[in-house]
Amino acid sequence: MIQLSGWKRWLLAIVVLHGIVACAGFFAPYDPTEQDREHPYLPPMRIHLVDTQGHFHFRPFFYAEQLRVGSFDQFEEHSQQAIPLRFFVTGARYDLLGLLPFRTHLFGAEASRVYLLGSDAYGRDQLSRILYGGQISLLAGMLGAGLTLLIGVLIGATAGYLGGWRDGLLMRVAELFMALPWLYLLFALRAFLPLSVSPVQAFFLIILVIGAVGWARPARLVRGVVLSARERDFVRAARGFGATDSYLLRRHILPETSSVILTQAAILVPQFVLAEMTLSFLGLGVPEPVPSWGSLLASLQQYSVLVSYWWMYLPALAIVPFFLGYLGLASALQQDAGTEKIVRTAGGSRW
Amino acid sequence: MVRMAAQSTFGRWLVCGLLLAGTIVFSRSANGTPPQTSSTEELLTLPGEIGKQGGRLVVSLRAEPKTLNPLTAADAPSREVILGAMQADLIHINRATQLTEPALAKSWNVSSDGLQYTLILRKGLRFSDGQPVDADDVLFTFRVYLDENVHATQRDQFIVGGKPITVRKVDAQTVVFQLAKTYGAGERLFDGLAVLPRHLLEKPYNDGKLGQTWTLATPANEWAGLGPFRLKEYVAGQKLVLERNPYYWKQDAKGNRLPYLDELVFLFVPNADAQVLRFQSGETDLISRLSAENFSVLSRQQSGYTMSDAGPGLEYNFLFFNVNKPEEKTSPDLARKIKWFREVKFRQAISAAIDREAIVRLVYQGRGAALWGPVTPGNHRWGNSGISHTARSLEKARALLKEVGFAWTTGPDGEQSLVDSDAKPVEFSILTSSTNADRTKMATLIQDDLKQLGVRVQIVPMEFRSLIDRVTQTREYEACVLGLVSFDADPTAEMNVWLSSGGTHLWNPSQAHPATAWEAEIDKLMEQQLDAQSYAQRKKSFDRVQEILAENQPMIFLASPDILVGAKKSVGNFHPTVLEPYVLWNVEQLYFRNTSGNGRP
């Protein structure tokens, strides 16, 4: 068996989780926007192996649910009608990873829809919506973090390498950005942008907005590393041999910042996923009917949903493994970088 | 007379927060002993359960009223408090029967030409400060209502046929009103008109300060009215306390002077969910304007209160398209879409594709009625039963679209999409108010309905005021879901919706000349129903208006929510109606069954 070192194990966990979300079309039984108007607010279905007569079945099955007469959201299991769960069924068309048209879903059922995590106000499958919503939220988080890091590294490296008044100016601007109440800044930025936008436009607007506010912290960290790396002996030596600025940065200085950048990335991605969720929760994210984790939770703003339909909280649970994965990775990376540094300082006698 | 049904809570939070900072309290100790029923008084006797004297009823109000002056009251909370509990009118529309009944005027008669109304006042009427009422107060009331410098919100109501109504005093009890033109709704004119005390308001009126009098900060002894309750105390940002008016002019069948309650308290609770929590915890005794979701939450955990579904109210929700004539500044994209929207068959097809039953079931949890016209089932007298209630039919919608040159193309992913005669895909956006969850839900259902027709729809939730601005001013929108509620079931209340010159003629407001032949016909019919004197004639005209609307679909009517209310079990005479104020319309008869002077343990 392959032994994975600390951070690699976390990375693997994250890759697996993202893989599931990226292939949402396969794992989700239905199209996330498809409404089933006969089953609004259906609680998660129970999957049985033993029927009412006590017989054991190898194939899991569930009972069809129907509305209790005269009620809007009270359902009862129809025990006469057992519907077997089927695997690798053909259903709604989707594009795997956005490229390959596919029709095969991991599971599904004939004769009735199966709701493992219940349905929402329009009878849309909650499980499918959580999986597809993850695509939006995670991609927004990752692209937002990527954008932030790009800006952060550019500004941080410039400030650290050039030094002098340019360093001072850039860092004061960064401090200004850090002092801003960024949630309110998000609101203000979003309010300036047009309201009537298509889901795709809205998505990129969000990424732009959250990417533009978070660059200050990584910029300061990168600047610090660049500042110390610039004075290292091997950098001085390279400069003495006539290396150009761009060669020095590329070859000697920026590689020094890699551990800081990776750790920052692992911290920033969940932070920006949360930022996207906040915006969508408040109705400023991607519009209906496209799901995102934030807009899935938005229905909880209503008192009646809060007290009546517990499965509407599930999108909040979905983010927990992702955040654990990212934060675990961040701390493992930091430890790794820490030990590396100790090894290097102990081995290489600098003084 | 018509109000957009908005539920904006943002601003109100802010206002409450600011007012909490400085709490002002004004109160008055109770006036001496209340007068006994004397033979010179002509009290109005109300049928109904005999109640018990005493108790304090607490209700929540969506927002703090802006004023206690009936002349300038324009916001819904002010009007609810003033007209519901503090003031009285000459002739009143009974909220349960939707018919007129005597109020301060004990009787009236109309001259044969329909131009002269003679009203006889009740004898022995007194304002809540004990001062007697006579014809001079009525004359004064009309003088200030009609004075342009006062800017009374209801001034337009008393201009009939382009001329203000003139008022003449015959004797201390008799007043004659002269109209320039016949008025179809007749004596309904007088509903909601508060008779004002001349002895308190004549001086500010002469000083030109009438608009600024009777604010919330007015001391209680400078305020007087003819309603069942009078001002006692106002705590900024928290509550308005009213006390029993000992001079009120109604009595029960046993001769007890009404109202039964000693105090009526309005708590300012700006958020619908917070109102539910207060009601659940027993802090308030009545609750109205419940959403279906909150109604079912309360019904499920029922304990100590009665939940009641009064049936569909007067609110009607509809989808409408921008059919304004494109101007130079209109973007070519919008101009192209307006061309579809102006096509009657396009609107009919959209109407046929919408699943109204699903809206009632999913948005109102079945507590509402699907609509095919503006008159809801809650309006007993004006609905046209001939309007067909066509069920959803995609085939019909497709046939209608095909007739006017629309076609379908099949995309690479097998999805059908509708294209117009220039092969451009049909897609549009629907505006909804971001603070109204119900209407956003309707739009989401319509979005899915139309997807099955190959039409791509986007939903744009927008702050209510900027939405109204887009619809009535800039006219830069494609489609919109809105709702309207009128205070009265009579069609005259909605003149500015149906007349092409009206400001609430939403699909194409404030036109100089009617843009289409059918709008011209509606204009004519609405004027006709205003002039006609018999109900049958007026009904005939308005029936035809409804037919024209159903045929041309300028508004695609969707659904009407039920009026959902609740009360503590101990509240007696609780008979909710579908007209505003839903639960407080008979506040003088409400009482507590089991208490010894206080509504709570």
Residue B23 banded pLDDT, cuts 50, 70, 90: very low
Mean confidence (pLDDT) of chain A: 83
Q: Do A196 and B277 touch (CB under 8 A)?
A: no
Q: Is the pLDDT of residue B573 over 70?
A: yes
Nearest Cα to B53, choosing from B252, B220, B285?
A: B252
- Average pLDDT of chain B is 87
Could you say which of A123, A198, A283 has the minimum Cβ distance to residue B458?
A198
From CA B175, how far away is CA B528, in angstroms rounded?
28
pLDDT tens per residue, range B468-487: 888 988 888 999 999 998 87
What pLDDT is stored for residue B555 in this prediction?
A: 95
Positive/negative CA dihedral, A30, A33, A37, A40 = positive
Per DSSP, the three-state class of A180 is coil
The reply to whether residue A308 touches residue B296, judged by beta carbons under 8 angstroms, is yes
Q: What's the mean pLDDT in B317-331?
A: 91
Distance CA(B53)–CA(B73), nearest Å, equals 31
Residue A159: name the closest of A173, A148, A146 by CA.
Answer: A173
B307 pLDDT above the threshold of 60:
yes
Does A72 score more than 80 pLDDT? no
CA distance A58 to B488: 65
| Chain A environment of B440 (Cβ under 8 Å) | 288
CA dist B406 and B589 (Å) reads 60
Closest CA to B429 of B402, B390, B456, B458: B458
Provide mean pLDDT across the span A221-246: 87
Instruction: Residue B337: list chain A partners with CB under 8 A.
Output: none
A198 touches chain B (CB under 8 A): yes
Mean pLDDT throughout A4-24?
Answer: 86
* Residue B593: burial class (beta carbons within 10 Å; 0-12, 13-18, 19+): middle
How many angstroms away from the CA of A180 is the closest CA of chain B?
23
Task: Name which residue leads in pLDDT, B36 or B101.
Answer: B101
Q: What is the pLDDT of residue A347?
A: 44
Output the six-digit token pair for A131: 């999986």
- Across A1-15, A214-228, A328-342, B227-241, which has the greatest mean pLDDT? B227-241
Q: Which of A199-203, B42-46, B293-297 has the lowest mean pLDDT?
A: A199-203
Residues of chain A in contact with residue B462, where contact means CB-CB under 8 angstroms, are 195
Cross-chain Cβ contact B365/A308 below 8 Å: no
Topology (CATH level 3) of domain B44-285+570-592: D-Maltodextrin-Binding Protein; domain 2 (3.40.190)
User: Confidence class of residue A340 from pLDDT cuts 50, 70 and 90?
Assistant: low
Q: At residue A200, does pLDDT exceed 90? A: no
Better-predicted residue by pLDDT, B352 or B38 = B352
Helix-then-strand count for chain B, H and E: 15, 28
Strands A56-67 and B250-252: unpaired
| Mean pLDDT computed over B88-96 | 91
Asked if residue A206 has pLDDT above 80, the reply is no
The tokens for A245 are: 């600025």
Give yes or no for residue B247 having a pLDDT over 90: yes
Phi first, then psi: what are they for B87, rounded to 5°?
A: -125, 170
Q: Which DSSP symbol is given to A286?
A: S
User: Does B373 have pLDDT greater than 50?
Assistant: yes
Q: pLDDT for A305-338, tens place per residue? A: 888 889 999 999 988 999 999 988 888 888 877 6
Residue B91: per-residue pLDDT: 93
Q: Give domain B316-561's CATH superfamily.
A: Dipeptide-binding Protein; Domain 3 (3.10.105.10)
Least confident of B74-83, B134-143, B191-200, B393-402: B74-83
Out of A150-164, A176-190, A255-269, B240-254, which region has the weakest mean confidence (pLDDT)? A176-190
Strands of B253-386, DSSP E: 263-268, 286-287, 305-312, 316-321, 368-370
Contacts of A73 in chain B (CB under 8 A): 296, 365
Q: How far apart are CA A227 and CA B446, in angstroms?
A: 59
**Residue at token pair 């029960």:** B252
User: Where is pLDDT greater, at B493 or B518?
Assistant: B518
Indicate the pLDDT class of residue A160, thresholds 50, 70 and 90: confident
**Which pair of structure tokens corresponds to residue B76?**
């819904």
Gyration radius of chain B over CA positions = 26
Q: Judging by DSSP bridges, how do beta strands B56-61 and B263-268 pair with one another?
A: parallel
d(CA A253, CA A243): 12
Distance of CA A54 to the CA centre of its chain: 43
With CA atoms as reference, the chain B residue closest to A196 would be B460
Write out chain B residues lying below 8 Å of A283, CB-based. Answer: 434, 461
- The closest of B389, B450, B417 to A35, measured between CA atoms, is B450
Return the higher-pLDDT residue of B135 and A50. Answer: B135
Q: What band does A1 get if pLDDT is binned at 50, 70 and 90?
A: very low
pTM of the model: 0.83
In Å, how far is B105's CA from the nearest CA of chain A? Answer: 46
Where are any strands of DSSP class E within A122-168? Answer: none
DSSP state of B189: G
The minimal CB distance from A93 to the residues B277, B414, B441 is found for: B414
> What whole-number percentage of chain B has pLDDT above 70?
92
Domains within chain A, CATH numbers bracketed? 45-115 (no CATH), 130-347 (1.10.3720.10)
Nearest to A303 among B273, B292, B458 (CB): B273
Instruction: Pick B598 or B492 by higher pLDDT.
Output: B492
Overall average pLDDT of the A96-111 stretch: 80
- List Cα–Cα distances, B108 to B3, B104, B116, B176, B489, in angstroms: 30, 11, 10, 10, 22
Contact, A33 vs A136, CB < 8 A? no
- 3-class secondary structure, B230: strand
Lowest mean pLDDT, pick from A98-102, B40-44, B130-134, B427-431: A98-102
Is the confidence at residue A55, as pLDDT, over 60? Answer: yes
| SS3 state at B550 | helix
The angle formed by the CA atoms of residues B322, B327 and B329, to the nearest 5 degrees, is 105
pLDDT of the residue at B492: 87
- Contact yes or no for B362 and A40 at CB 8 A: yes
Coil, helix or strand at residue B233? strand
Question: Which pLDDT belongs to residue A193?
Answer: 63
The residue whose two tokens read 């508004």 is: B555
Determine the distance from the C-alpha atom of residue B67 to the mean position of all C-alpha atoms in its chain, rounded to a whole number.
18
Mean pLDDT of the B592-596 span:
72
Q: pLDDT grade, residue B19 (50/70/90)?
A: very low
pLDDT range class, residue A2, cuts 50, 70, 90: low
Contact B575, B559 (CB under 8 A): no
Q: For A163-196, how does the pLDDT look when each residue is reduced to its tens digit (9 = 90+)?
A: 889 999 999 988 888 887 777 776 776 666 665 6
Closest in A73, A195, A289 to B462, CB measured? A195
Residues of chain A positioned with their CB less than 8 A from the CB of B355: 37
Ordered by start, the domain boundaries in chain B are: 44-285+570-592, 316-561
Closest approach of A40 to chain B, Cα-based (Å): 7
From its phi and psi, is residue B214 left (phi > 0), alpha (psi between -120 and 50) or beta? Answer: left
How far B476 CA sits from the closest chain A CA (Å)?
A: 11
Sign of torsion over alpha carbons B292, B297, B298, B301: positive
